[in-house]
Structure 1
Amino acid sequence: LAGKRVKVGHAGTLDPLASGLLLLGYGPGTKRLEELTGLDKTYEGTIRLGAVTPSYDAETEEQDAKPWEHLSADGIGAAVDSFQGTQQQRPPLFSAKRVDGTRGYHLAREGAEVELPPATVTVHEIAVLAVRGREVDIRVRCSKGTYIRSLAHDIGQRLGCGGYLSGLRRTAIGPWEVDGAPGPEDWSEHLR
């Protein structure tokens, strides 16, 4: 690759604290990336109940601690299940969405109190994988533009105790799965 310029792009970003699958295109493959951004995504994440954060994830400090111990696994499951389907979802201010040309996360870090407009998203499948004390592991298959951080926040609100996303891994984009996908260390091989 020394001295060679190769055009590289991606089909959708990951949140700063997230891990998992990211589709990359290089050379002529970058022309297909836009059509790939519309594919459904699958995630596995952990919701931490009993508090909220300004970013809806573990990037910012917990606030508004509330009791969660009274919640049953069945009650949590029912609340999670209620988010399946097409709905209006408000993105977190800590996001790349623009407000009058400025990224939301810039406004949030400056302390601005702005509410982003809701967007229509579809949660095709959502399931509780495990409940471990205040930690709830979920799997979600959703449409483009769905914020799992907002979903975690909204589930916490529905349960009345607050909640935020404490971990997130994208496991699939359309037909591509993270298992068996090349890692960052493998990319130099693909670019030769």
Structure 2
Amino acid sequence: MQQEPYGEVFLINKPLEWTSFDVVKKVRNALRIKKVGHAGTLDPLATGLLIVCAGKMTKQIDTFMGQEKEYTGTFVIGATTDSFDLEQPIIPVADPSHITLEQVIAAVAELTGDILQIPPMHSAIKVDGKRVYESARKGVDVKMEPRPVTVSEFEITKFENPVVEFRIVCSKGTYIRSLARDLGEKLNVGAYMSSLCRTRIGNFKNSEAHELLALVEEIKARTNEIEPT
């Protein structure tokens, strides 16, 4: 009897400082098959839910990528960076001590709903066939066009000046780092993203995700018994 083609979906809690490709490579090596991919990049300094598809389930990647995302994390106001996160050095902008919770909430309201967003220069988007982060690292300016995204929920969960804790629900293609930049501009004090965790993609939750290294050991043990086809 012929075996069905192998296919599987893994929910993984991406570790801090790992790239999304690092995670895919680890799973690919454990499975010992080439057809493995992820459904939506997380930056190295972000953690949380990464959906990894293997075998015939790689055909579902676009479907997963198109689903609604939820994030939690922290912004810091009063400073910025060239990447709007901690990948680049912190640049002081203005003293934020006068900023109130009410002002933050008012600024957030302007960044909620259907908005136009300019992606950060330090991103993997391609312009004229080149990744814009490659141009940014060479000091080359690239004109980034605003893109329509939907921020359906933007909740401030805690504010202890200068730290803003948040929960965001948004559409595919939304850059949380860009929301940090835009919040800082609206408050006239600058802002950057200091931490980020993706907590949900569609109905998949990070609370259901595997820790990467434990999952890899489980896969290795399994593939020693049955080879995927």
TM-score range, shorter chain: over 0.9
| Equivalent position to 2:64, from 32, 36, 40 | 36
Q: After alignment, is 167-176 or 29-38 more displaced?
A: 29-38
SS class of match (1:93) = coil
CA distances 1:149-170 after superposition (whole Å, capped 9, x unpaired): 0001100100110101111110
Q: Deviations over 1:107-156 (max 9, x none)?
A: 11101122311110000111001012201011000000000000011001
- Structure 1: distance between partners of 2:74 and 2:30: 41
Gaps of 5+ in 1: none
Fraction of identical pairs, as percent: 42
Greater share of helix = 2
Asked if structure 1 preserves the Cα contact closer than 8 Å seen for 2:30 and 2:216, the reply is no
SS in structure 2 of the partner of residue 12 of structure 1: coil
CA distance in 2, matches of 1:166, 1:75: 20
Q: Secondary structure at the match of 1:150?
A: helix
Give 1:95's aligned residue.
123
Q: Deviations over 1:1-47 (max 9, x none)?
A: 88942521110100121000000111111111111110010001211
Contact 1:48/1:165, CA 8 A, preserved across alignment: yes
Give TM-score scaled by structure 2 length: 0.80
Distance 1:16 1:111 in 2: 21
Aligned partners of 2:177 and 2:193 also within 8 Å: yes
1:119 paired residue number: 147
Extract structure 1 runs of 4+ deviating beyond 6 A. Answer: none
Displacement of 1:188 after TM fit? 4.5
Cα distance in 1, alignment partners of residues 33 and 127 from structure 2: 34
- The number of aligned residues is 192
Structure 1 residue aligned with 2:158: 130
1:62 to 72, 90, 99: 90
Alignment partner, residue 218 of structure 2: 189
For residues 47-79 of structure 1, the C-alpha deviation after alignment (integer angstroms, 9 at most, x for no partner) is: 110011110111111224201000111111121
Correspondent of 1:148 among 158, 176, 186: 176
Q: TM-score, normalised by structure 1?
A: 0.94
Q: Which has the larger radius of gyration?
A: 2
Answer yes or no: is 1:168 the counterpart of 2:181. no
